[in-house]
Amino acid sequence: MIEIYHLYKQYSKDVLALKDLNMVIDRGEFVFLVGASGAGKSTLLKLLLREISPTRGNIKIFGKDVTRLKKREVPLYRRNVGMVFQDCRLLEDRNVFENIAFALRVIGASPREIRKRVPFTLELVGLKNKVFKKPNELSGGEQQRVALARAIVNRPSLVIADEPTGNLDPETSMNIINLLQEINIRGTTVLVATHAKNIVDYYQKRVVVLEKGRLISDQERGVYFNAD
Ligand SMILES: Nc1ncnc2c1ncn2[C@@H]1O[C@H](COP(=O)(O)OP(=O)(O)OP(=O)(O)O)[C@@H](O)[C@H]1O
Ligand SMILES: [Mg+2]
């Protein structure tokens, strides 16, 4: 599903954010990406999403080299990738329903499909009773669940989350990861960058550790790696 070969990202002369990264993530895997602040986690996720381009190396996703996609091919590629950010990035002037429906409208879904998919997805994330609330009427955890619903509503093959529990208490964080796990069980490949040691240790998934831009550990059923 994801194949990364000799990936380098140099932002400037003295900032080499990723150095010779190699890894393969198979379809259906659940992977935690961990490492200290500045290790290169977000850089890697942005490269996977094609928000930025690498200095060297290749990334193959769904069998295609995303580093070589033409600008006009990028939106089509992203349709198959759900993305969740720490800061939710919801539309503040739209209610929950509209925030999720928006993700379907941009891919040209029919009104009928929208009426079906949005309630189904809200049920999945446990927010059926908040359909007509605006983001500022929701708690941080609820907003994050809306962001998750938006990321998965068009049934992407891959979900990438960058610190999706960054601002949440431990219980709500577990709730979000449980949801990602459910999505994963339904067949979606999930990649989560996180600092939450307790979560990584609890779930016993594959753990990939970055340190100063290098992959220093990759373990099945791993625990949070403490480089100190
Ligand atoms: N747009 C940018 N321009 C220049 N340098 C950048 C840019 N984005 C990130 N960096 C640098 O690249 C390195 C990796 O940053 P990155 O954001 O990938 O780290 P991270 O592992 O996500 O950290 P955090 O846990 O704090 O989110 C850091 O040294 C950072 O300062
Ligand atoms: Mg980051």
What CA–CA distance (Å, rounded) separates 165 from 182?
16
Q: If DSSP codes are grouped into helix, strand and coil, which group holds residue 114?
A: helix
Residue range 1-80+157-228, CATH number: 3.40.50.300
Contact 62, 80 (CB under 8 A): yes
In tens digits, the chain (228 residues) has pLDDT values of 999 999 999 999 999 999 999 999 999 999 999 999 999 999 999 999 999 999 999 999 999 999 999 999 999 999 899 999 888 889 999 999 999 999 999 888 999 999 999 999 999 889 999 999 999 999 999 999 999 999 999 999 999 999 999 888 888 889 899 999 999 999 999 999 998 888 999 999 999 999 999 999 999 988 886 655
In 10 A of CB 53, how many CB atoms?
A: 13
Q: Please report which ligand is nearest the Cα atom of 55.
A: 1
Predicted TM-score (pTM) of the model is 0.93
For atom 31 of ligand 1, the residue with the nearest CA is 38
Contact 118, 98 (CB under 8 A): no
> What residue segments make up the domains of the chain, in order of their start?
1-80+157-228, 89-155
For atom 27 of ligand 1, the residue with the nearest CA is 37
